[in-house]
Structures are given as structure tokens and as C-alpha cells.
Amino acid sequence: MAKSPFIESVRKELRTRQYSYRTEKTYLHWIRYFIRFNDYKHPDMMGNAEIERFLSHLAVNREVSAATQNLALCAIIFMYRHVVGREIEGLNYSYTRAPRNIPTVLDQEEVAKILAHMTGKYWLIAVLLYGCGLRLQEALSMRVKDIDFSLKSILVFRGKGRKDRYTLLPQSLVPRLQAQITYVEKRHAQDLVEGAGMTSVPSSLYRKYKGVMTDVAWQYLFPSTTLCRHPHDGYVCRHHIHATSFAKQLRKAVLKSGVKKRVTAHTFRHSFATRLLQKGTDIRTVQELLGHSDLKKTEIYTHVVGDRRAGTTSPADMLPGSKVEEAQASYV
């Protein structure tokens, strides 16, 4: 199928500005959708009316979330600003403010119950999420070189917002991490024998570090079971396992554990932050470990820490013991 010159120009602009591959796919999806929705009219022939109609369709007919609406608008604004060469002004629509949700967190016992039903690399990924406060993509993107056993730290390379940071290396995980690295070394050695051995990296790093991309230090800690072709540069490489692979294993473990909460990979990160605050860790330290640029993002976790209520006691707990026992007996 012939490629659209306009879509290819958007793709080129995204890559020139070094947007991530995931962002590229997402932006192109919404731009294509916007063009299809408006009967394939060229964006240069459209304006505020078409954009507003499209966003209203997403909100009313598709019933998408506030975050999805904002993402679609970001993609359209990028297209007009950097490809069409026109600023969108006077739009009768603004970024939707997402509701402020209190994060779901797990206590130590609940985490242990879920981990009891996970094995192998999926168990190790889950413990890294909880023990280091990582986002799932940060854990999956971890390379052998990012683990520093001597300094007891893990480098999060190009995390959200393209920022690097260091986080904790749980000492209890050292033997399991060393075993995982040994597995990676054996698989990589076999790849080299078969004429492969390249790892996947962003295009900018590929040009800069092409000579070391077959080094074991650059290999992913959780490599995919299959080789693939790099979407930008075309070389055959081994990527990391897909996020959906972990999500499926986590879902099974949660169901078996009996934990009655909605648990995702990000729940472990929420639980990491909450646990540190409960143990008295300074909130600035927690902010740094999480990689938050704004302290307000970290402060959300104070809302789930019981100690912030300054010892306030529920009126129900102040009832005379006999009244409570009497009520419990009648209920049963």
C-alpha cells in the first residue's frame, strides 16, 4: 500500500525532534483518525471547526477519557505547528482537566500474596517495580549496564520526560539479578554465533554507539524471545519483552491471590512511594527516586498515608466496647 507523503512528513518531523517510537505511533494514529473523520481533507484545508468537531466526537460518541482527549489534541497541535506551519488559535476547546484520583496501593501482605503466584522473569519485574518505584516501561527497558552492584543503584536511562535518574537497588534481589544477567549472557552468545547480537536502541544512539551495540552490557535485562527488525533503521535486533506479556501474568497472579483491588503494574510504583513515606522517608527523596519534576505529583501519596491525619480517631472507634460488640452480634 502506497504511503501518504503527508503522513511521512509528520513521521520525519517526529523523528527529527527525537520523539520516542511509542509517541510516534500514537501521534500518527490520532492524525490519521482526524483526517479520516474529516473525509480525507488535507489538514491545510481545515481549521478550528474541524478540530472542534473531531474532539466533540471523541468526547460524546467515543466517550474517551480526559487523558485520551488531551493526547489527540496534542497530536493535532503538533501536526499544525511543525508540519503545516500554522498555529491553532482561538480554539473553542481546551485541554480537559483529568480528575484527581487517589492511587490504589497495596500493603506488604497484599504484595507478597501477588508475588507468590508469579515466577521467573515476571516475578523479578514485579519486585523491581515495587522495590525501585519503576514504571513498567523503565523496568522492561533496563539494560545490563544500568545495574551497579558496587554502588547499590540502578540507572533509569531516559525515563519519562527523557530524564535520567538513579534509584535503589534492593540487596535482596542481587542473586536473582545476577542469575538473570547470566541468562542474558548465554542468550547473547548464541545470538552472536548465529550472526545476530544487535540490541535495539533509538536512532540517535544507533548512529553514535553502533560499534558497541553487540556488547553484552547493552543487552536488555529482559530480552524478547524472538528477533525483530528495527522500525527506524532496519537492522535485525533483539528487543525487550512486551508490556502486555507482563500484564497478562500479573492479571493471573492477582486473580489467584484473592486481592480485592484493581492492580496494574503502576500499582507497585504507587505502593513503593506510599511505603517509603510511611517509614518516614523525606518526600524530596521520594520525589527524586520516582523521577517527578513537580513535588505536587509526589504529594498525592500523602493522601493515602494514614499518619497525615495526625492521629485522628474515627467516632466509631470511640464507642464503648459493649455497644460495638452488641452491634456486631446483631449484624451477624
What's 139's domain CATH number?
1.10.443.10
What residues are labeled active site?
135, 160, 266, 269, 292, 301
142 and 232 belong to one structural domain = yes
125 and 231 belong to one structural domain = yes
64 and 203 belong to one structural domain = no
Q: Which three cell numbers stand for residue 204?
A: 540517535
Tell me how many domains the chain contains. 2
Give the Cα separation of 133 and 266 in Å (integer). Answer: 9
Closest residue by Cα to residue 84 from 154, 35, 137, 144: 35
Cβ 238 vs Cβ 220: under 8 Å: yes
Give the Cα separation of 259 and 224 in Å (integer). Answer: 29
- What CATH code is carried by the domain that includes residue 35? 1.10.150.130
Say how far residue 227 (Cα) sits from the centre of its chain. Answer: 23
45 and 9 belong to one structural domain = yes
pLDDT tens, N- to C-terminus, the chain (332 residues): 568 899 999 999 998 888 888 899 999 999 999 999 999 999 999 999 999 999 999 989 999 988 899 999 999 999 999 999 999 988 887 776 666 778 899 999 999 999 999 999 999 999 999 999 999 999 999 999 999 999 999 999 877 777 889 999 999 999 999 999 999 999 999 999 998 888 888 777 777 777 778 899 999 999 999 998 888 788 888 999 999 999 999 999 999 999 999 999 999 999 999 999 988 889 999 999 998 888 888 888 887 775 455 556 667 666 776 555 555 555 44
The pTM for the full model equals 0.78
Domain boundary among 52, 84, 116: 84
Residue 322 lies in a domain: no
63 and 166 belong to one structural domain = no
149 and 266 belong to one structural domain = yes
Say how far residue 213 (Cα) sits from the centre of its chain. Answer: 25
Residue 49 lies in a domain: yes
Q: Which three cell numbers stand for residue 322?
A: 459493649
Strand partners of residue 182: none
Domain boundary among 49, 84, 119: 84
247 and 121 belong to one structural domain = yes
Taking CA atoms, 198 is separated from 75, 79, 190, 201, 228, in Å, by: 32, 33, 12, 9, 10
Residue 331 lies in a domain: no
80 and 147 belong to one structural domain = no
176 and 283 belong to one structural domain = yes
Show the domain range for 165: 101-308
